[in-house]
């Protein structure tokens, strides 16, 4: 199991989290200007460092996965890490159940270890699943709390340049489901996440809204795309998200490939349930 971490200008967060990661570790630095790469090279020579000249967004994880030499990869951010024993359990599950392409863990936030609200959504998933497989069936995940089969992740293209960053997991999950891979939420796999104080939540919310439109363009029926766009447009700040999506629409159209009917049915069930 290889741990793939991406970082950008969070040297101090990385200084605290890197020692916690199970080795081997591939660290992809997204063009940091705060000395992150130099710190990693000096203080953690056992880490496989990939120092990019510019920010590649979520696609930086793809480079880390390509660099890995193990069949499974665990993702982490510079402000998150897997609990001791979690990755050993994940490896055992993947070894035992070859139909599972992705495992999502239980994310505990900050020093208070409050459960991320996403965990409740995954734990109560209404999707039907094979009782022979552990955990709950899911159709989405958080990258900082996911373990994947290396070859499977690369086969669906990894994270793409259309989305760039924020909500990049959605299209990967759709493509895994389209290829018949099971995805499971297993709460025994614990992740600690101490969100960086440098996070700008307003900007991230707009990016997620923009990327939901782009993901719909790439994989959903046109009525769903229209509903997604109009819903975003009428939300507070939504006009900016729609406007920022427009320059990326040609690339999204070029990558368009509708998911199979059974995956679309699962998506609609989830959307109805969450509403």
Whether residues 31 and 115 share a domain: the answer is yes
**Same domain for 21 and 138?**
yes
Q: Where among 171, 193, 215 does a domain terminate?
A: 193
The secondary structure of 107-175, three-state, reads EEECCCCEECHHHHHHHCCCCCCCCCCCCEECCCCCHHHEEEEHHHHHHCCCCCCCCCCCCCHHHHHHH
Res. 55 pLDDT band, cuts 50 70 90:
very high
Confidence band, pLDDT 50/70/90 cuts, at residue 199: low
* 2 CB burial (10 A radius; 0-12, 13-18, 19+): buried
Nearest to 183 by CA among 141, 131, 212: 141
| Alpha carbons 209 and 76: distance in angstroms, whole number | 23
Domain shared by 185 and 133, yes or no: yes
Return mean pLDDT, the chain.
Answer: 95
- Angle value at C-alpha 14, between 61 and 146, nearest 5 degrees: 40
Are 232 and 130 in a shared domain? no
Q: What span, in angstroms and rounded, lies between the C-alpha atoms of 194 and 16? A: 11
Q: Average pLDDT for residues 234-240, to the nearest whole number?
A: 90
Q: What is the DSSP letter of 259?
A: P
Other CB atoms within 10 Å distance of the CB of residue 180: 11
* Domain co-membership, 242 together with 122: no
Q: Clarify whether residues 125 and 48 are in a common domain.
A: yes
In tens, the pLDDT along 178-188 reads 999 999 999 99
For the entire predicted model, the pTM comes to: 0.95
Residues 91 and 130 in one domain: yes
**Domain co-membership, 144 together with 23:** yes
DSSP-assigned letter for residue 31: S
Taken as a whole, the chain contains a residue count of 275
- Between CA 176 and CA 206 the distance in angstroms is 26
Report the CATH number at residue 157.
3.90.550.10
Measured distance between the N- and C-terminal CA atoms of the chain, rounded to whole angstroms: 37
Pair (34, 132) in one structural domain: yes
Cα dist from 205 to 200, 211, 232, whole Å: 9, 10, 11
Task: Using the 3D structure, point to which of 162, 193, 224 is the last residue of a domain.
Answer: 193
Judge contact between 57 and 30, C-beta under 8 A: yes
- Written as six digits, the tokens of 192 are 């600690």
Say whether both 20 and 92 belong to one domain. Answer: yes
What distance in Å separates the CA atoms of residue 146 and residue 143, rounded to the nearest whole number?
5
Domain that holds residue 86: 2-193
pLDDT in tens, 130-166: 779 999 999 999 999 999 999 999 999 999 999 999 9
Mapped onto helix, strand or coil, the DSSP state of residue 189 is: strand
* Mean pLDDT, residues 227-251 taken together: 94
The reply to whether 38 and 173 lie within a common domain is: yes
**Structural element, H or E, at residue 214:** helix 201-219
Q: In total, how many domains does the chain have? A: 2
Domain end marker among 149, 165, 193: 193
| Predicted local confidence at residue 112, as pLDDT | 93
Distance CA 89, CA 80 (A): 18
* Residues 242 and 143 reside in one and the same domain: no
């Amino acid at each position: 199991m290889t741990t793939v971490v991406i970082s950008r200008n969070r040297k101090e967060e990385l200084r605290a989290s890197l020692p916690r990661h199970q080795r081997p570790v591939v660290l992809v630095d997204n063009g940091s200007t705060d000395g992150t790469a130099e710190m990693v090279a000096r203080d953690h020579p056992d880490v496989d460092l990939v120092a990019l000249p510019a920010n590649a967004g979520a696609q930086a994880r793809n480079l880390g996965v390509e660099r890995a030499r193990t069949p499974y990869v665990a993702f982490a951010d510079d402000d998150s890490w897997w609990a001791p024993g979690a990755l050993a359990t994940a490896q055992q599950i993947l070894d035992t159940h070859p139909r599972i392409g992705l495992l999502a863990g239980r994310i505990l936030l900050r020093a208070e270890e409050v459960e991320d609200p996403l965990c409740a959504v995954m734990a109560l998933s209404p999707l039907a699943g094979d009782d022979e497989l552990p955990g709950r069936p899911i159709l989405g995940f958080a990258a900082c709390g996911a373990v994947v089969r290396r070859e499977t992740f690369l086969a669906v293209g990894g994270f793409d340049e259309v989305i760039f960053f924020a909500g990049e997991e959605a299209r990967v999950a759709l493509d895994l489901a389209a290829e018949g891979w099971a995805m499971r939420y297993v709460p025994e796999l614990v992740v600690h996440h101490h969100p960086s104080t440098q996070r700008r939540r307003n900007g991230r919310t707009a990016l997620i809204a923009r990327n939901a439109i782009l993901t719909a363009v790439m994989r959903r029926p046109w009525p769903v795309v229209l509903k997604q766009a109009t819903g975003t447009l009428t939300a507070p700040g939504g006009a900016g998200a729609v406007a920022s999506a427009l320059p990326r629409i040609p690339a999204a159209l070029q990558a368009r490939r509708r998911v199979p009917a059974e995956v679309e049915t699962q998506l609609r069930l989830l959307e109805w349930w969450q509403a």
